[in-house]
Chain A
Amino acid sequence: MSFPFNLRGLASRLLNLSRPIQTTTAPSASRCLSTTSPLLNTPKGGKKPQSGGAASGKKRGKGKNAVVQDPKIVNLLQSLSTLSPRRIPPPLRMARNRHLRHWTIHRGWLMFRRKQRDERERTFMKQYQSMSAACEELRLTRGPGARPEGYLYRVAMEKKGVYGHHGVPIEYARAQTDTPAKVAWNHDWKR
């Protein structure tokens, strides 16, 4: 079982999203929460539901007849109830020195990212320049044989077979991994 970072984050975000919808007139959100409220109250012992309102009071009465008793659903609802805005932790509070350290770390991270990006772009520029210089040299080259100047360049600029099916081999889609395969490279491949 993996650690549910994502689920927790998602649930809290969902709840934060649904809050302003509740306060305005959104019938679907309020009804959803009002059906759950009796269930939330039963194990805790009469806690006031967070989404109490005039519109939901009527439906709460209707829900009493059909109490969901499936323990899985009860468990789910209990877990969701802990996502209430009162229980999710407050935003980060840091003292002055701690916040300055945080700021330094953040700036360091930005600098790291920028260096990486610049290095990457510089490589791309170099590669482009290399290609450009090679193409210019090719354009001013005569031959082979009795071919005129620029013949090889024109052929090199053709885009035959570049696009479409079999343009790029499927092996090229292999993603990089953190650790290699058991046999890292197939040296015995035969045509």
Chain B
Amino acid sequence: MSAASRGGNAVSALLRSSRRVCSQCARSSPRPAIPLTTRRYYAEQTTTTTTTTTETAAPKPPPPSPPPRKDISSEHSIIVPSQSDSAHYISAGIILTRAPLLTREPTPFEAAFYLYQKRLNERLAVPFRKNLYFRTDTASDLDWRIKVRERHGVPAKDIGRYNPRGRTAWNDEVLTGSPLSAPETIVEKLLADAETRVSEDGEEIAEEERVPVEKPMPRRTEADEKNDVRRLDRALDRTLYLVVKGKDGKWTFPAGRVDTSEALHETASRVLEQTAGVNMNTWMVGRVPVAHYVKRPSFGEGETAKTAPEKRGEKTFFLKGRIMAGQVDLTGNVRGVTDFQWLIKDELREVFATDYYHSIRNMVELR
């Protein structure tokens, strides 16, 4: 748009006095027209602005329609608990997550590709020089010799039987279905290599006298095997979300009404303490809501149907939290929560109501 036409728009906006419908929120009751010079694109207390605009824009006729809400300055003296929006309650909830503790399991293609690359590297790299690393006829040298002999002379531990300089150097591809590239196989080979095979005075240790190397803990824990959804050491490579079962028997994230003097993050932390106890090391990621759920109000029949809803709706804003240590403790919670679960994102769909799940599903993490 050129500068001239923008000026024309501005002038026409100033001269226009007809009713306007807000293009952003499409309200049925239009707001007073605000000239472009003072138009805002952020939320602010509107009454002060309208008064200033009427003062500054003297030749302009007064706002054509009465403001849709009551005068806010008169409302400030009255303490109304969370009632100002006549159709909705405001709630704040917390989506408490446990970040994944483990890395992602590599896909079979990924694992096979890594093995392929390792073998290509063997073809390209300078041959391994044992003498640089082991002094001749020391215990570590004897140890190395035994291990290399068992690997058929291959210095690398995890590439299987492949010699990049021999007669079969071309044969660097692994056959389909070979377990060689699986992470478990690699761990097994590395553990076998870490075992000491020669004593300090250079004698080979018999198989029954070798001290086995301590194995790393399994990726699937006891809670995984039992499918214990209340434990936090389940599904270690996934994000876990805390869901609680309310009085009405529905599973939700912990949430509660925003008090008059509170902001969202204060309510969220209060609700979390009231629901799940204090014995959790948590961190609120930010004050910005990451998801929201709106329960629409229901309007009854009759003449009051347009003014007051029969049953008020509820707007719930969810903040994001992280848990570092601790566990939920439901004993003596004041919110009437009866049960809790730590679920991964696929299991959320099963426990939540459909509309509830649809309003929060965009905030879930990749894994």
Using a CB–CB cutoff of 8 Å, the interface residues on chain A facing chain B are 1, 3-5, 8-9, 11-12, 75-76, 78-79, 82-83, 87-89, 91-92, 98, 101, 105, 108-109, 112, 119-120, 123, 126-127, 129-131, 133-135, 137-150, 152-158, 162, 168-169, 171-172, 174, 176-182, 184-191
Contacts and interface: CB of A to CB of B under 8 A. Distances in A.
Given A127-B290, A182-B217, A184-B236, A145 B80 contact: yes
Interface stretch (B53-61, B97-105, B205-213, B241-249): B97-105
A76 B132 contact: yes
7 contacts: A109-B113, A112-B110, A145-B80, A150-B42, A155-B264, A156-B289, A188-B327
B75 interface: yes
Candidate in A130, A144, A188 with the most chain B CB atoms within 10 angstroms: A144
B283 A134 contact: no
B30 to A, nearest CB: 15
B43 A150 contact: yes
Contacts of A155: 263-264, 287
A101 B131 CA distance: 37
A135 B121 contact: no
A3 B126 contact: no
A138 B293 CA distance: 11
B32 interface: no
Contacts of B149: none
Given A8-B128, A112-B110, A156 B288 contact: yes
Contacts of B83: 143, 145
- Chain B interface residue number, banded: 35 or more
A88 B122 CA distance: 11
B259 A144 contact: yes
A1 B236 contact: no
Nearest to B157: A3
A144 B72 contact: no
Contacts of A127: 290, 362-363, 365
B312 to A, nearest CB: 12
Given A79-B129, A189-B325, A152 B288 contact: no
B126 A187 contact: no
A184 B217 contact: yes
A143 B101 contact: no
B78 interface: yes
